[in-house]
Structure 1
C-alpha cells in the first residue's frame, strides 16, 4: 500500500482547521500503521495542556505524556493537537480530562497498549497527577520513563 493510499482519508492534515470549541466536536483521525507487524512505542508530550476548572472556570495546566504501542492504526498528530487544544475552554476535573483523552484514543486506535500520565500543576497548593493504562506493557517493547519529575516547581 502506498503512502498516498494510507493518508488519503485524512481531512485535517494540510488544511486550515479552526480549533474545536470542545472535545466532543474534535475529530480524531487515524491512518494505517505501515509497521503494524513491529512492536514499538510512540510518545506524544503536551507540556502546555490547558483546561478549565468546572467549578471556578479558572485555567488548569498539565504536562501530558501519552505512550502507546500501535496495532493496526496510528493517530494523526494534527488531529491529536486539535483534540487536546479543544480542552482549552472545557470545564472538567483533572481526572476526567486525563481519562477522557485516553479512552478516546483507545476507542479510535485499539492499540496493543496505551498509557497516559497527566501531571497537573497545583491549584490550591496540591498538584494532582492522574495515570491511566490499558494493561501490562507488551513483551519486548521498550517503554521509557515519562521523564516528568514529582512536583517541586515543575518546569
Structure 2
C-alpha cells in the first residue's frame, strides 16, 4: 500500500469553525466525507451516552445512551455535524421511538451505508426504561460487528 488514503474535506462547512446549535433536527446539517477505504467493509461506531430530547406531551427532558454502528459504503458522517445534529434534539419534542428511528433513517438517507443499526437505551421516566432498536438489514458478511453491551437498566453506566 503506497501512502495513506486521503479525504477531501473541501466541501465541509462546520468543521474547524464555531457552530451554533441547530434550531431543530430538521434544520441540522449532516455533512459527509468520502470513505477513505471504499470497497472495504468495516464497522464505525458512535456512542452518545448523554443524548437528550423532550417528551412531546409534558416537555420534560428524556435521556438516552445511543449507540450507532454502520458499515460505510461511499461516505462517512463528519463527526462534528453528527454531534450538532444529535444536540438539536435537546429542544425537540418526540417520543423515544420517533427519535431513535428518525436518527437512523436520516443517516441512511445522507450516507447510504452498506448497513446501519442504532440502539437507543432510554433512561426511565415513570419507572420504566424504554429501549429502541433499528437495523437496516443484515450486516455484510465478514464484518466484525461488536455487541453494543449497554447494560439493561440498573443505573446504566
TM-score by length of 1: 0.96
Paired with 2:14 and 2:110, the residues of 1 have a C-alpha distance of 16
Q: What is the aligned length?
A: 153
Out of 81, 84, 92, which is 2:83 matched to?
A: 81
Structure 1 partner of 2:115: 113
1:71-124, CA deviations, whole angstroms, 9 ceiling, x for partnerless residues? 000000000000000000000000000000000000000000000000000010
Runs ≥4 residues deviating over 3 A? none
Paired with 1:21 and 1:37, the residues of 2 have a C-alpha distance of 36
* Cα shift at 1:153: 1.6
* Cα shift at 1:37: 1.5
TM-score by length of 2: 0.95
Note the aligned Cα RMSD (angstroms): 1.0
SS at structure 1 position matched to 2:52: strand
* Cα shift at 1:6: 1.0
Structure 2 partner of 1:124: 126
Structure 2 partner of 1:139: 141
Residue 15 (str. 1) matches residue 17 (str. 2): yes
Out of 144, 149, 152, which is 1:150 matched to?
A: 152
Unaligned runs of 5+ in 1: none
Structure 2 partner of 1:37: 39
Unaligned runs of 5+ in 2: none
